[in-house]
Amino acid sequence: MLTLGILGSGSGSNMQAILDAITVGTLQAKIAIVLSDNPKALILKRAASHGIPHAVIDCEGHKNKFPDYVQIETAEKLKQAGVDLVCLAGFMRLVKAPLLDAFPSKILNIHPSLLPAFPGVAAWAQAVEAKAKETGVTVHVVDSGMDTGLVILQEKLDILPAETADALHKRIQVIEHRIYPMAISQYAHSLNL
């Protein structure tokens, strides 16, 4: 069975969507471990409430940096848990060589825009500020760039006239929660996992 490791920094709503898809049988997988760089993140509480092993990624005071030695430790935890595929779910640090090398082409990310448009943080706010007519959601393979990897699945969403960034974000999350499990299943099948 496909074994997933989830990395997140926030509420864990995408982790919950993955878990829900597993529960109803639309995603044939299990979540072996949930890791967060934020010790107060709700994603850790969600994992605990479902009996999923979880731990904090200690970046030792680095606000945005993901030090190489911490990435090596993270890769070890994921490997010890038997993870086949790593899913970033609102993980707010840039993954680099140590973790990429440990899981080559086996780390997915979900991003709230139609990449390559609006990479980076708060993509929904970037779209509203740019007065874009449409945006959407992208699931992609993580590579060494920022939101530059191979696209697995995308879905478009029209931006409504006078829509606020917060309102758009809520509509984007509905799509994220639906397509991330689909994309995981599709990609894992393509890799024969």
Grade residue 166 by pLDDT with cuts at 50, 70 and 90: very high
Query: What tens digit of pLDDT does each residue of 17-52 get?
Result: 999 999 999 999 999 999 999 999 999 999 999 999
Grade residue 99 by pLDDT with cuts at 50, 70 and 90: very high
Choosing from 54, 62, 111, 169, the catalytic residue is 111
- Mean pLDDT over residues 69-82, rounded? 97
Contacts of 174 (CB under 8 A, 6+ apart): none
The answer to whether residue 63 scores a pLDDT higher than 90 is no
Query: What tens digit of pLDDT does each residue of 79-88 get?
Result: 999 999 999 9
For the chain, give the mean pLDDT: 96
The answer to whether residue 105 scores a pLDDT higher than 90 is yes
Predicted confidence at residue 60, as pLDDT, reads 86
Taking the CB of residue 152, how many other CB atoms lie within 10 A of it?
20
Radius of gyration (Cα) for the chain, nearest Å? 16
* CA 70 from centre of chain: 18
- Mean pLDDT over residues 89-94, rounded? 94
The answer to whether residue 64 scores a pLDDT higher than 90 is no
CB–CB of 183/139 below 8 Å?
yes
Predicted confidence at residue 149, as pLDDT, reads 96
The answer to whether residue 184 scores a pLDDT higher than 90 is yes
Taking the CB of residue 156, how many other CB atoms lie within 10 A of it?
10
The answer to whether residue 159 scores a pLDDT higher than 90 is yes
- Whole-number Å distance between alpha carbons of 177 and 146: 22
- Whole-number Å distance between alpha carbons of 162 and 179: 26
- Whole-number Å distance between alpha carbons of 136 and 158: 8
Quick one: which of 183, 190, 193, 26 has its CA closest to 89?
183
Beta bridge partners of 106: none
Full set of structural domains in the chain with CATH = 2-190 (3.40.50.170)
Structure tokens at 52: 């999923």
189 among known catalytic residues: no
- Mean pLDDT over residues 107-118, rounded? 97
Does this model's pTM top 0.85?
Answer: yes
Contacts of 34 (CB under 8 A, 6+ apart): 5, 6, 7, 8, 12, 15, 43, 44, 46, 47, 52, 53, 54
